[in-house]
């Protein structure tokens, strides 16, 4: 089913004598011809579909179109249990050892027992603001919770697991707003927070804040980024990968590489590289020399070479694999052999949401293996037991889903699925971004209103 994107046409003011100026008529005629040509030649599907042509224009210059259709793939089955929760779950995390899990539930964090492989709600902990993305410190002692405002709440994990009322240790705050995701540096010293509506990445010193009883809770640095959302740390702990929904090309977001050590001491100079990353890139994971981005508006997962991102950014994008509608959350599963992708269908443009299983072949090349059924708007994914157990936050269903991925077919059963229509090896993107005067569809303004009105 084609997704209907909201667009608005602008036209010159009509003169009082009731006739259109000749220049305006020529402009409108050119727009109509360009629309028809773009629809007929640039994209598959029925002709005369203005939203599809608009999507092509949004992607021009970056090589990753804003697609409309999910490719066909087998329906997969995994053992799953579900648990309804008091509020729509946003972020999820699983404590080391896999015995407890956490979920952001509006103004609180839910604490769940996972010892039996099934979730049971043990308690809720009130937190300031609205609980968004969750992240655990590498030693498992602290849980940081993006608060939807300017920072994070910090919880003591052991106290939270016991149901203690003293689990909330304090807050890290900034003057920014729209805190959506959090990440802790590999040494546990720093916390990074994407401030989606503040257009910056805030850097906090977690170790110092805890040592001073949160007397030192302000950022130690700020990295300017437009609409930053998702984050992932490189396996060697040197870089932070950050997705931004807004980039230099029309309709295209970016993937930015941030040097972690520099971010603490000189944040304004911490950006190593920034590359186009499809339409509305919202989440990112890193594994085995590769970086994978969920490009929500492109209905795709993009595959980047982590080495090339630093040393040859213009050649970093290797391929894209088309998945289901509007992918958001993603996680490495099956012992590093696959990705699980939350096809959110956020805007309700298809019959149902799903979880796409993307097989990672030698060298990191992704191919679509199939789909699993999910609840409505799967938003975040946490994994444990080497990626053989996953918890999915079904936001619009107000439930958590626990999946045993060991019950999936063996790798050899789904690794050979034909994917010629789903995987595209991409050419090098154009180095010159499109400008207003290069737009072949004059008089059209693209409105993706939900991007800036609700968190990604």
Q: How far apart are the C-alpha atoms of 413 and 431, rounded to whole Å?
A: 40
Helix (H) or strand (E) holding 414: helix 411-414
pLDDT tens across 298-353, in order? 999 999 999 999 999 999 999 999 999 999 999 999 989 999 999 999 987 665 78
Is 342 exposed, middle or buried (CB count within 10 Å of its CB: 0-12, 13-18, 19+)? buried
Edge-to-edge strand order for the sheet containing 399-404? 79-84, 399-404, 389-394, 378-384
DSSP one-letter string for 399-443: EEEEEEGGGSPPHHHHTT---TTTEEEPPPPPSS---GGG-SSTT
User: What is the arrangement of strands in the sheet containing 120-126, beginning at the earlier edge strand?
Assistant: 89-94, 100-105, 108-113, 120-126
Whether residue 4 is predicted with pLDDT greater than 70 in this model: the reply is no
Residue 61 has pLDDT above 60, yes or no: no
Instruction: Give the model confidence (pLDDT) of 116-159 as tens digits.
Output: 889 999 999 999 999 999 999 999 999 999 999 999 999 999 99
- pLDDT of amino acid 456: 86
End-to-end CA distance of the chain: 22
- The mean-pLDDT minimum among 60-74, 182-196, 437-451 falls in 437-451
- Tell the CATH topology of 79-425: Methylamine Dehydrogenase; Chain H (2.130.10)
DSSP three-state, residue 33: helix
Mean pLDDT of 427-435: 38
User: So what's the pLDDT on residue 21?
Assistant: 44
- Kindly state the average pLDDT of the residues 361-372: 90
169 and 141 in contact (C-beta within 8 Å)?
A: no
The lowest-confidence range among 48-57, 166-175, 197-206 is 48-57
388-413: average pLDDT: 85
Residue 110 has pLDDT above 90, yes or no: yes
What pTM was computed for the model? 0.79
Please identify which residue in the block is written with the tokens 């498992």. 140
Lowest mean pLDDT among 54-58, 184-188, 223-227, 426-430: 54-58
Report the run of H or E that residue 285 belongs to, with start and end: strand 281-287
């Amino acid at each position: 089913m084609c997704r209907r994107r909201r667009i608005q046409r602008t036209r010159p003011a009509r003169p009082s004598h009731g006739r259109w100026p000749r220049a305006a008529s020529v402009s409108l005629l050119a727009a109509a011809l360009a629309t028809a040509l773009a629809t007929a030649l640039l994209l598959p599907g029925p002709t005369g579909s203005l939203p599809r042509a608009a999507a092509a224009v949004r992607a021009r210059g970056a090589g990753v179109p804003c697609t409309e259709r999910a490719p066909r793939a087998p329906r997969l089955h995994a053992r799953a249990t579900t648990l309804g929760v008091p509020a729509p779950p946003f972020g999820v995390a699983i404590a080391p050892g896999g015995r407890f899990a956490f979920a952001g539930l509006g103004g609180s964090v839910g604490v769940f027992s996972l010892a039996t492989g099934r979730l049971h709600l043990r308690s809720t902990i009130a937190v300031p603001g609205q609980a968004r993305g969750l992240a655990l410190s590498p030693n498992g002692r602290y849980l940081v919770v993006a608060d939807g405002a300017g920072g994070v709440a910090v919880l003591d994990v052991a106290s939270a697991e016991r149901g203690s009322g003293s689990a909330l240790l304090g807050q890290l705050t900034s003057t920014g707003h729209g805190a959506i995701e959090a990440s802790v540096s590999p040494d546990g010293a720093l916390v990074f927070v994407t401030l989606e509506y503040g257009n910056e990445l805030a850097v906090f010193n977690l170790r110092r804040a805890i040592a001073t009883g949160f007397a030192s809770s302000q950022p130690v640095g700020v990295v300017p980024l437009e609409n930053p959302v998702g984050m992932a740390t490189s396996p060697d702990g040197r870089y932070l990968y950050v997705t931004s929904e807004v980039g230099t090309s029309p309709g295209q977001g970016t993937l930015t590489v941030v040097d972690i050590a520099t971010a603490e001491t000189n944040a304004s100079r911490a950006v190593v590289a920034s590359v186009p990353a499809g339409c509305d890139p919202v989440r990112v994971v890193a594994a085995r020399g590769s970086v994978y981005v969920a490009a929500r508006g492109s209905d795709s997962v993009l595959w980047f070479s982590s080495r090339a991102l630093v040393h040859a950014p213009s050649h970093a994008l290797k391929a894209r694999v088309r998945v289901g509608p509007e992918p958001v959350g993603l996680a490495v599963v099956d012992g590093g052999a696959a990705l699980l992708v939350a096809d959110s269908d956020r805007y309700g443009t298809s019959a149902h949401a799903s979880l796409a299983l993307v097989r990672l072949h030698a060298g990191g090349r992704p191919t679509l293996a199939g789909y699993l059924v999910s609840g409505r708007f799967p938003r975040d994914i946490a994994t444990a037991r080497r990626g053989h157990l996953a918890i999915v936050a079904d936001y619009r269903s107000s439930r958590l889903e626990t999946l045993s991925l060991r019950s999936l077919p063996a790798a050899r059963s789904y690794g050979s699925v034909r994917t010629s229509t789903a995987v595209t090896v991409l050419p090098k993107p154009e180095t010159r971004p499109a400008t207003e005067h290069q737009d072949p569809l004059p008089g059209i303004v693209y409105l993706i209103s939900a991007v800036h009105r609700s968190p990604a």
